[in-house]
């Protein structure tokens, strides 16, 4: 069936943050709505008043926004089919329940919680294949109901499931499935306080909000059977259902907090690129194409079809997620990458704030040097501290400096060479007022930029000539020099390091290490 106006929804409960599974559900509904030219609604299922909080709601909204998922109707947007909070729709649920009571599709149940539990325990003891409500109040006489009412017992309202009916249902992902209603009990629709339970409220909401497609987790398939019968009892058309598989851990079991961060804002706070997280989550059950894993939101919308979601559970792979983050970092222009990384840089390196204001081009070069070396924005701060303060050599750096007995003498000789001013004025010593940026200086395919200060290529040519005059192997020379300048054996190449520090700072650091005992 083709709906003229597709309408899909994501309906979280504000009892905690937006988790990985919920984010994927929201994403698939959003993508399907956008792909079909329909509407995407955000509905808040806040009937669990003991656990629902405004703080959780705001965390969920922030998580969706961070992923780039917008909604056409719902909180902060409004819409013609609201209200979009279930606790603001109680009158609607009560009216629908009364209608079902009148039609005989529902009945009042006066059983206490203690009786329900006793029945369940007895079923378990008897190893019954059926575990559920035994229908005790299903056929009460008017006199029996009146007796309960006189005693002040406030009833639940239960849906009357057909006793023995075979249903053949079609799921957009699972295909055709046959079930029998004998496996279902009469479930509670409305509690004594008038607050609805999930299966009842979401059907009433879906009818009122004209929902045409429901994409949700496979754990809701059984709920879908109950809901189909409720739509039927109300004389309403049932949406097209699509039940997506679970997200699994590397061992093939249901993903939990022990396996990975599942809160979307944890990824945000650690500096994961949001586009990469969106891209990776989209692949947990759906594929863009056989030869591409990296794609934009717009490309996903163009390619997305509900029916193309797989039936099998998808394994979450943190290593692949980080690889994808690195892909996005490398594709981000240095000015934008710098802007995104600043929130993680400034607490660790206050000098970055000043550098960003006065020497933005230089700082963009710093970021460009590390694009191949980081996957998360939050990783940059720990890697560039050597640029803003003289480093303390770690053990690996010390080994590099002392690997050759003559190593420290090479440092002193190169420091003297730099102090002679053989090269043009260095960046950053002469960077004031310079807007020109030498992007990605480590990449060999980058053209040389004509400018008045050092560039990595000019530094390399001068350095190689100096080493030749010194009469040592170039490879032997590079490692102790870089270690002395950065304090480690990791990071950008030597010529990028010299380019970023400038001749004066380099000479001072080389002398300090060469003079140390």
144-153, long-range: CB < 8 A, 24+ apart: 145/108, 145/110, 148/110, 153/110
| 213, β-bridge pairs | 240
| CB 18 within 8 Å of CB 264 | yes
Distances (CA, A) of 145 to 49, 308, 346: 30, 51, 69
For 288, half-sphere exposure in the C-beta direction (CA atoms, 13 angstrom radius) is 19
Q: Which residues are catalytic?
A: 257
Beta strands in 78-174 (DSSP E): 106-109, 156-159, 166-171
- Cα angle at 290 between 286 and 296, to 5 degrees? 60
The values of phi and psi at residue 514, to 5°, are: -65, -30
Query: DSSP assignment of 464-491, as one string?
Result: HHHHHHHTS-HHHHHHHHHHHHHSSS-S
Structure tokens at 366: 């710093």
Helix (H) or strand (E) holding 179: strand 175-180
Distances (CA, A) of 497 to 179, 370, 442: 68, 11, 10
What is the spatial distance between Cα 313 and Cα 24, in angstroms, rounded to a whole number?
13
């Amino acid at each position: 069936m083709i709906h003229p106006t597709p309408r899909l929804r994501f309906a979280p409960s504000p009892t905690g943050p937006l988790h990985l599974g919920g984010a994927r559900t929201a994403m698939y509904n959003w993508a399907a709505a956008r792909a079909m030219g329909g509407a995407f609604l955000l509905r808040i299922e806040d009937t669990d008043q003991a656990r629902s909080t405004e703080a959780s709601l705001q965390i969920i909204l922030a998580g969706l926004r961070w992923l780039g998922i917008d909604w056409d109707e719902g909180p902060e947007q409004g819409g013609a089919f609201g209200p979009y909070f279930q606790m603001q729709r109680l009158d609607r649920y009560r009216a629908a329940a009364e209608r079902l009571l009148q039609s005989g599709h529902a009945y009042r149940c006066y059983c206490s919680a203690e009786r329900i539990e006793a029945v369940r325990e007895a079923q378990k003891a008897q190893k019954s294949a059926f575990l559920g409500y035994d229908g005790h109040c299903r056929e009460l006489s008017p006199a029996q109901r009146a007796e309960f009412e006189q005693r002040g017992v406030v009833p639940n309202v239960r849906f009357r499931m057909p006793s023995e009916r075979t249903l053949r249902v079609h799921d957009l992902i699972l295909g055709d499935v046959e079930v029998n209603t004998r496996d279902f009990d009469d479930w509670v629709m409305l509690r004594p306080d008038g607050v609805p339970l999930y299966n009842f409220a979401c059907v009433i909401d879906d009818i009122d909000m004209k929902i045409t497609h429901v994409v949700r987790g496979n754990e809701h398939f059984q709920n879908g059977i109950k809901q189909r019968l409720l739509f039927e009892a109300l004389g309403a058309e049932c949406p097209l259902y699509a039940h997506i598989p679970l997200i699994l851990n590397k061992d093939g079991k249901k993903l939990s907090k022990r396996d990975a961060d599942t809160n979307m804002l944890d990824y945000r706070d650690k500096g994961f690129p949001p586009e990469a997280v969106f891209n990776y989550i989209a692949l947990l059950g759906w594929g863009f194409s056989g030869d591409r894993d990296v794609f934009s939101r717009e490309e996903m919308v163009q390619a997305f079809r509900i029916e193309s979601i797989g039936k099998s559970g998808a394994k979450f792979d943190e290593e692949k997620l980080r690889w994808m983050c690195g892909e996005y970092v490398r594709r981000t222009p240095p000015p934008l990458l710098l802007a995104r990384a600043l929130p993680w840089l400034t607490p660790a390196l206050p000098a970055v704030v000043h550098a960003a204001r006065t020497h933005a081009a230089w700082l963009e070069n710093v970021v460009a040097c590390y694009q191949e070396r980081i996957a998360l924005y939050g990783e940059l701060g720990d890697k560039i501290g050597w640029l803003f303060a003289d480093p303390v050599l770690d053990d690996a750096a010390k080994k590099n400096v002392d690997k050759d007995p003559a190593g420290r003498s090479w440092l002193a000789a190169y420091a003297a060479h730099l102090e002679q001013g053989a090269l043009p004025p260095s960046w950053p010593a002469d960077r004031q007022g310079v807007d020109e940026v030498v992007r990605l200086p480590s990449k060999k395919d980058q053209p040389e930029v004509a400018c008045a200060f050092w560039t990595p290529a000019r530094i390399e040519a001068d350095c190689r000539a100096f080493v030749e005059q010194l009469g040592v192997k170039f490879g032997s020379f590079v490692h102790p020099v870089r270690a002395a300048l950065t304090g480690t054996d990791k990071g950008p190449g030597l010529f990028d390091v010299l380019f970023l520090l400038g001749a004066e700072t380099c000479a001072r650091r080389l002398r300090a290490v060469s003079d140390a005992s």
